[in-house]
Amino acid sequence: LQKRVLGKSGLAVGEIGIGCWAIGGPDWNLGMPMGWEGVDDENSLRGLQAAVDMGANHFDTADVYGHGHSERILGRLLKTTNRSDLVIGTKVGYFRGTAPHSYHPLNMRNQLETSLSNLGTEYVDIYYFHNLNFGTTDEYLDDAVAAMVRFKEQGKVRVIGQRGPHIYAPDRLKAPAQSDDKYERFLNVTRVICPEVIQVRFNMLTPWITDRKRDIFSWAERHDVGVVINKPLGQGLLLDKYDPLHPPVFGAGDHRSRKSWFGPKGLHILRGRLAQIKARFGSTLPDMVRVALQYCLAATPNGCVVAGFKDETQVAMNLAAAGRDLSTEEVEFVRSVMAGIGQEVGSFFVGSNSK
Ligand SMILES: NC(=O)c1ccc[n+]([C@@H]2O[C@H](COP(=O)([O-])OP(=O)(O)OC[C@H]3O[C@@H](n4cnc5c(N)ncnc54)[C@H](OP(=O)(O)O)[C@@H]3O)[C@@H](O)[C@H]2O)c1
């Protein structure tokens, strides 16, 4: 697997890494479905093992994925794998427990120790601030960063990571947010956190930013910060695996049940666009996986993708897309086919007007 270096962190990871959100299984957090249904632990473990066998070295999880379940499955892999060969990322910030805030230093300490125990490891390679909500006046920010720095000094964390521009999940249900706000917010906390790696959502559905001053990839290159790209497959949407006439029905505990992209209108619009991609690049599932992942990898030399999975077949297909770059002209073609799709689909969440 070709390696990418995550900027100044110096971490060398396979260009395609393994996202472990789905294998946490169905889950609820903050009053919302936040997991994935249809998961089988033994299939998940076989998928993880296949990833190592195929040369993957980067695994991304979070304390909150299945409330520790994802970390514990990954911990089973770590028992039989040379720990120092792997780059493990996990996150803190979406689970508050009984603390006044999820970024209260005591809660962070508790979550880190629990993550280490779940994973069965002495350290995590990348420890991310999973969201940018540090209290109404950022009253938890300074202490949270000090806690992170202590974790690093103690050797429990190698690299500090931070979520890219985004809206705190519960706030997305409230009001339409401006993308400018997200970016400004990101810049403001970044000045305090000084992350070495950021994690951003990016895929063929993401509007292309032409202004370099507002483009997260340009920012990361200027600051030599590594970028881990999540949701590269649009959580399955970009593979054209759903029929708009028979949209999927997700069970309780699956976050996709509240996303309008998975409804008939979103799928119908998507199918029309993806037909053009298929006509050019091939129409099989592996063809679509390759275009989706390589489109993301073309966005930055400092970054990698983490692709989620449910089983060994998906892992093998996703890793097989490595090294099969798209040309600049092909990337531009994809971009032009997908341009404006977000506006056409409309609201992001079912029953809300938030993007
Ligand atoms: N920092 C953050 O806040 C954040 C946010 C989101 C994600 N992430 C990380 O990024 C990772 C990737 O994002 P994601 O998992 O949300 O979305 P994704 O990688 O875009 O999509 C993953 C899903 O697509 C389907 N899939 C994957 N490979 C497939 C294949 N070859 N053929 C058919 N279907 C396939 C699977 O779901 P089905 O089989 O059910 O279709 C899988 O769970 C996560 O696992 C997580 O580690 C981080």
* Cα dist from 70 to 19, 22, 107, 180, 314, whole Å: 10, 8, 19, 33, 17
Tell me the CA–centroid distance for residue 237 and ligand 1, in Å: 10
Torsion of CA 203, 207, 210, 214, to 10 degrees: -90
Determine whether the shortest distance from the Cβ of 231 to ligand 1 is under 6 A: yes
* Cα dist from 173 to 22, 179, 237, 251, 258, whole Å: 22, 15, 21, 20, 10
Q: pLDDT tens-digit profile of 246-258?
A: 999 998 889 998 8
Tell me the CA–centroid distance for residue 146 and ligand 1, in Å: 32
* Cα dist from 37 to 9, 243, 269, whole Å: 34, 19, 25
Collapse the DSSP code of 204 into the 3-class scheme (helix H, G, I; strand E, B; otherwise coil) and give the result: coil
Cα gap 108→201, rounded to integer Å:
24
Phi first, then psi, for residue 267 (nearest 5°) are: -65, -35
In the block, tokens 């950022």 appear at 138
pLDDT of residue 353: 39
Closest residue by Cα to atom 45, ligand 1, is 19
pLDDT of residue 170: 76
Cβ 135 vs Cβ 141: under 8 Å: yes
Tell me the CA–centroid distance for residue 44 and ligand 1, in Å: 13
Cβ 206 vs Cβ 355: under 8 Å: no
Tell me the CA–centroid distance for residue 320 and ligand 1, in Å: 16
pLDDT of residue 350: 59
Q: pLDDT tens-digit profile of 96-131?
A: 999 999 999 999 999 999 999 999 999 999 999 999
- 47 residue type, one letter: G
In the block, tokens 């995550």 appear at 6
Transcribe 44-73 into DSSP letters: HHHHHHHHHHTT--EEE--TTTTTTHHHHH
Tell me the CA–centroid distance for residue 230 and ligand 1, in Å: 8
| Mean of pLDDT values over 69-98 | 97
Contacts of 234 (CB under 8 A, 6+ apart): 203, 204, 205, 261, 292
Contacts of 100 (CB under 8 A, 6+ apart): none
For residues 258 and 237, which has the higher predicted lDDT (pLDDT)?
237
Whether residue 352 has pLDDT greater than 70? no
Q: Please say if 128 is a catalytic residue.
A: no
Determine whether the shortest distance from the Cβ of 58 to ligand 1 is under 6 A: no
Q: Relative to the CA of 131, which ligand 1 atom is closest?
A: 3
Cβ 260 vs Cβ 348: under 8 Å: yes
Q: What is the pTM of this model?
A: 0.96
* Cα dist from 183 to 89, 174, 216, 305, whole Å: 23, 19, 8, 21
Cα gap 142→105, rounded to integer Å:
10
Closest residue by Cα to atom 5, ligand 1, is 230
Closest residue by Cα to atom 25, ligand 1, is 236
Whether residue 355 has pLDDT greater than 70? no
Cα gap 258→69, rounded to integer Å:
22
Cα gap 332→286, rounded to integer Å:
20
Cα gap 314→325, rounded to integer Å:
19
The dihedral built from the CA positions of residue 221, 281, 330 and 338, taken in this order, carries a sign that is negative
Buried b (16+ CB within 10 A) or exposed e, 320-347: ebbeeebeeebbebbeebbeebeeebeb
Cα gap 274→22, rounded to integer Å:
24
Determine whether the shortest distance from the Cβ of 27 to ligand 1 is under 6 A: no
Q: pLDDT tens-digit profile of 57-67?
A: 999 999 999 99
Could you tell me the pLDDT band of residue 354, with boundaries at 50, 70 and 90?
A: very low
Q: pLDDT tens-digit profile of 139-194?
A: 999 999 999 999 999 999 999 999 999 888 777 666 555 556 889 999 999 999 99
* Cα dist from 61 to 72, 181, 231, 295, 310, whole Å: 10, 27, 13, 23, 14
Q: Pocket of ligand 1, candidates 59, 231, 256, 287: which has the most ligand atoms within 8 Å of its Cβ, to mutate?
A: 231
Cα gap 98→162, rounded to integer Å:
23
For residues 211 and 195, which has the higher predicted lDDT (pLDDT)?
195
Q: Pocket of ligand 1, candidates 309, 315, 348: which has the most ligand atoms within 8 Å of its Cβ, to mutate?
A: 309
Determine whether the shortest distance from the Cβ of 115 to ligand 1 is under 6 A: no
Determine whether the shortest distance from the Cβ of 26 to ligand 1 is under 6 A: no
Determine whether the shortest distance from the Cβ of 239 to ligand 1 is under 6 A: yes
Q: Relative to the CA of 37, which ligand 1 atom is closest?
A: 40
